[in-house]
Amino acid sequence: MARHNEPEKKKEGDLEEKVLYINRCSKVVKGGRKFSFSALILVGDKKGTVGYGFAKANELTDAIRKGGENARKNLVKLCLEGMTLPHEVNVRWDGASIVMRPAKSGSGVIAGSQVRAILEFAGVKDVMAKSLGASNPLNLVKATFKGLKSLETKENIERMRGAE
């Protein structure tokens, strides 16, 4: 059972699902208020594969279900170097800016909010990350994924440059 302030986790096969953010929106109509929900869902196997999904619906459970389906469709396989990142990454998405640096073994995940959850679900054990600028959860997630997709191993970079 999850504690009060802990996001809900769900296990299916080898992928774990986590609700990162839920937004409730209300519209005033003739009969009262009509609520709709949006959900930001994270899915990962903690072995280098991670994805996110964002969905809207009139019911909270439907938004979470649709977000989970979207997350499974958008899985990304990361190239990691051991338990950390191969190199430093500076990335921007709209107003959100994120810096991620590799860390020594045993450092742990030093990051905040959504960035921490993504790195943990990706299986990264040692990393230092700092979120700069906006704190919009969706933009933070998109910026983090943009940075993780841009990771390249030393061997791949050498192969692209044609070095021997």
Q: Fold for domain 79-152?
A: Ribosomal Protein S5; domain 2 (3.30.230)
Domain boundaries, given as residue ranges, for the chain: 9-76, 79-152
Helix axes of 113-122 and 137-149: crossing angle, nearest 10 degrees: 40
Judge whether residue 160 has pLDDT over 70.
yes
In the chain, the percentage of residues whose pLDDT exceeds 70 is 91
Convert the pLDDT of each residue in 36-79 to its tens digit: 999 999 999 988 899 999 999 999 999 999 999 999 999 999 88
CATH code at 9-76: 3.30.160.20
Indicate the pTM of the whole model: 0.84
User: Which long-range CB contacts under 8 A does 22-30 form with residues at least 24 apart?
Assistant: 22/60, 22/63, 22/64
Specify the pairing of strand 109-110 against strand 127-133.
Answer: parallel
Helices (H), the chain: 60-73, 113-122, 137-149, 154-161
Convert the pLDDT of each residue in 122-141 to its tens digit: 999 999 999 998 889 999 99
